[in-house]
């Protein structure tokens, strides 16, 4: 394990987009110019008071930020351990954290003078958030979505269409998030001169992992402010689910230089630990290249990407953001996994004890938080990122329940 002084954790990536060894830019030459252009525009904009003010105003009045830090009192009592608090990203406009990033990138799109937007989506939350941002700014938008995800996240597909965006179902490969990213990249290869690709997670080539993390860091920053106001200190443990890892990166990044705060990322454990049963590259994978970046990934011995499984479309991805790989190898964040069945149990628990339907993705973090809190004392504080709402999952959860009942 590399030894890193605490102040260095936030000082990434370097100019080559490297988080330690991870990250970088492994893309066709055709895309390099657009990535350089995006990096230049972002570096200029992030320190431009006008850009910052515009984004803050959108976050406040359009998204409804800050999102609440909510005490889950009945859940805490039921678990009987540490206090469980929820960072309510599910209360955002469009129902998840994804909108934080899409508004930022939509502003960058306009600043770069680009006139069309494309994106990928797994659970459909990023698709809805991108379609929303594009509607808000009058940009045409194409959403690539795996055919399997079109089926299991139908409510979001409807919303995307209602918002005026075009859905392009992807029928190649496993017909999930990974294939949607491939198709979006291929579109971008041809359209790069007038199109911006609003990537939805902290994955892909530099500068995407940095930009998405920065836009999502509002989650962790608010949590710090709210914790100080409510508890007079920082939480003991902060927990978030990790697919590509954008809600977790946004939650964790502002905390990485506070060594007293324990950070725990929860991957999708799927049906078990055998290859193909889960989507947990940090727990079971190894470093390799996928979608333009060097990070932990599920690959075979030839470097071919493996099929993965998760009941939740948003976590059903064989790779993970490079900064998570960096945090794993440096030991700054502990990663563990939560299986489909436990996530489902977490969903029901939160629904029935707190009156909140969490997204199936977030349910992984909730289930893990209940286990972690149970081992702690009542004066300790656990914060979970409730990254999205679960309305989109209602039909799929019903189907999964029936499937389990029939097994």
Partner 1 sequence: MSKIDELFAQLKSQNKKALMPFITAGDPDLESTAKLITAFDELGCHICEVGIPYSDPIADGPIIQASYTRALNQGITVDAILQTLESCAPRVSLPMVTMVSYAIIYRIGLQEYVRDVVQKGVSGIIVPDLPVEEAASLAKICRQHDLSLIQLVTPTTTRERAKRILETSTGFVYYVSVTGITGERTALPTDIVENVTWLRENGDLPVCIGFGISEPEHVKRLSPVSDGLIVGSAIVRRVTGCEDKSQLIPEVTKFVKTLLDAME
Task: List, by residue number, the catalytic residues.
Answer: 98, 120, 387
The smaller minimum CB distance to partner 1, of residues 104 and 285, is found at 285
In terms of CB distance, is 314 or 318 closer to partner 1? 318
In this chain, which of 138, 193, 274, 406 binds partner 1, going by CB under 8 A?
Answer: 193
35 vs 368, which CB is nearer to partner 1? 35
Q: Which of residues 27-46 bind partner 1 (CB under 8 A)?
A: 27-34
114 binds partner 1 (CB under 8 A): no
**Strand (E) positions, 229-349?**
237-241, 262-270, 286-290, 293-297, 333-339
Report how far residue 180's alpha carbon sits from residue 200's, in angstroms, rounded to the nearest whole number.
Answer: 11
Task: Give the residue from 29, 21, 25, 28 showing the smallest Cα distance to 2.
Answer: 21
CB of 117 to partner 1, least distance (A): 18
For residue 296, the cross-strand partners are: 287
**Residue closer to partner 1, measured from CB, 94 or 299:** 299
Identify which range of 21-29, 135-143, 224-232, 375-383 contacts partner 1 by CB under 8 A: 21-29
Please give the Cα distance from 297 to 339 (Å, whole number): 18
The C-alpha atoms of residue 220 and residue 136 are separated, in whole angstroms, by: 26
CA 243, distance to chain mean position in Å, is 6
| Nearer to partner 1 among residue 64 and residue 276 (C-beta) | 276
Phi/psi-derived region of residue 252, left when phi > 0, alpha when psi is between -120 and 50, beta in every other case: alpha
Q: Decide: 254 and 224 in contact? Cβ < 8 Å.
A: yes
88: contact with partner 1 by CB under 8 A? no
| Residue 115 near partner 1 by CB under 8 A | no
Report how far residue 368's alpha carbon sits from residue 378's, in angstroms, rounded to the nearest whole number. 17
We find the least distance from the C-beta atom of residue 325 to partner 1, in angstroms, to be: 14
String marking each residue 280-309 x if it binds partner 1 according to CB under 8 A: --------xxxxx-x----x-xxxxx----
| Binding stretches for partner 1 (CB under 8 A) | 16, 24-34, 172-173, 178, 182, 185-186, 189-190, 192-193, 288-292, 294, 299, 301-305
């Amino acid at each position: 394990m590399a030894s890193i002084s605490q102040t260095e954790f936030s000082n990434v990536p370097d100019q080559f987009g490297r988080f330690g060894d991870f990250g970088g830019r492994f893309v066709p030459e055709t895309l390099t110019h657009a990535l350089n252009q995006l990096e230049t525009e972002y570096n200029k904009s992030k320190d431009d008071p006008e850009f910052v003010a515009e984004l803050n105003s959108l976050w406040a009045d359009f998204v409804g930020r800050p999102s609440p830090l909510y005490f889950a009192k009945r859940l805490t009592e039921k678990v009987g351990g540490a206090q469980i608090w929820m960072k309510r990203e599910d209360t955002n406009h469009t129902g998840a954290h994804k909108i934080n990033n899409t508004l930022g990138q939509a502003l960058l799109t306009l600043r770069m003078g680009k006139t069309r937007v494309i994106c990928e989506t797994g659970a459909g939350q990023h698709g809805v958030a991108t379609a929303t941002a594009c509607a808000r700014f009058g940009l045409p938008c194409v959403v690539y979505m795996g055919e399997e995800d079109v089926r299991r996240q139908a409510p979001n597909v409807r919303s995307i269409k209602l918002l005026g965006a075009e859905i392009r179902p992807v029928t190649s490969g496993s017909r999930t998030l990974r294939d949607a990213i491939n198709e979006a990249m291929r579109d971008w290869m041809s359209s790069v001169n007038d199109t911006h690709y609003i990537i939805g997670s902290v994955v892909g080539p530099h500068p995407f992992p940095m930009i998405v993390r920065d836009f999502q860091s509002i989650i962790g920053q608010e949590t710090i402010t709210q914790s100080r106001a409510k508890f007079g200190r920082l939480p003991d443990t902060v927990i978030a689910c990790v697919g590509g890892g954008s809600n977790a990166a946004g939650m964790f990044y502002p905390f990485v230089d506070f060594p007293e705060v324990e950070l725990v990322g929860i991957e999708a454990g799927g049906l078990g630990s055998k290859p193909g049963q889960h989507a947990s590259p940090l727990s079971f994978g190894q470093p390799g290249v996928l979608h333009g970046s060097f990070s932990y990934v599920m690959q075979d011995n030839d470097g071919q990407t493996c099929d993965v499984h998760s009941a939740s479309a948003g976590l059903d991805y064989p790779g993970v953001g490079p900064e998570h790989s960096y945090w794993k190898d440096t030991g700054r964040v502990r990663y563990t996994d939560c299986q489909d069945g436990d996530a489902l149990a977490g969903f029901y628990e939160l629904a029935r004890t707190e009156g909140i339907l969490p997204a199936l993705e977030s349910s992984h973090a909730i289930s893990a938080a209940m286990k972690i809190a149970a081992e702690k004392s009542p004066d300790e504080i656990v914060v979970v990122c409730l990254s999205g709402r679960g309305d989109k999952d209602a039909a799929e959860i019903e189907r999964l329940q029936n499937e389990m009942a029939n097994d």
